[in-house]
Amino acid sequence: DTAVSQTPKYLVTQMGNDKSIKCEQNLGHDTMYWYKQDSKKFLKIMFSYNNKELIINETVPNRFSPKSPDKAHLNLHINSLELGDSAVYFCASSHFLYDSYEQYFGPGTRLTVT
């Protein structure tokens, strides 16, 4: 029973393509996040959603658009992929906004842009 799941696990695509990564959590959490871990291993937050509402939007190119159809899902759509988008993307969730700092992470999606 995976708590936070992501699909796909690996994604190889060419520059200029549009791709999506899906995330689902079955923990009943209210808040979900997307993180990016780059080649230098920095794990940086990109977005957070609370009950389908965007809360955090870090300085991320607008080619990246999160979509939350319900509070158990937070998908990440990326337009016009660039070489620099190659990274591991992690989805995470937590119980209450501002109430719990403990975030539960998915296994990650390794995106390679060629």
Partner 1 sequence: DQQVKQNSPSLSVQEGRISILNCDYTNSMFDYFLWYKKYPAEGPTFLISISSIKDKNEDGRFTVFLNKSAKHLSLHIVPSQPGDSAVYFCAASARNTDKLIFGTGTRLQVFP
With b for 16 or more beta-carbon neighbours within 10 A and e for fewer, the 48-66 pattern comes to bbbeeeeeeeeebeeebeb
Rounded distance, CA 94 to CA 21, Å?
A: 19
User: How many residues are recorded in the chain?
Assistant: 114
Structure-block tokens of residue 104: 């539960």
Q: Per-residue x/- mask for partner 1, residues 34 to 63, rule CB under 8 A?
A: ------xxxxxx--x-x----xx-------
Q: Quickly count: other Cβ atoms within 10 Å of residue 31's Cβ.
A: 24
If one asks whether residue 74 binds partner 1 (CB under 8 A), the answer comes out as: no
Nearer to partner 1, 12 or 15 (CB): 12
Could you give the 3-state DSSP secondary structure of residue 102? coil
Q: Is residue 67 near partner 1 by the rule CB under 8 A?
A: no
User: Which range of residues in 14-22, 60-68, 76-84, 103-111 is near partner 1 by CB under 8 A?
Assistant: 103-111
**Least distance to partner 1, CB of residue 16, Å:** 28
Contact residues for partner 1, defined by CB under 8 A: 4, 31, 33, 40-45, 48, 50, 55-56, 90, 92, 94, 97-98, 101-108
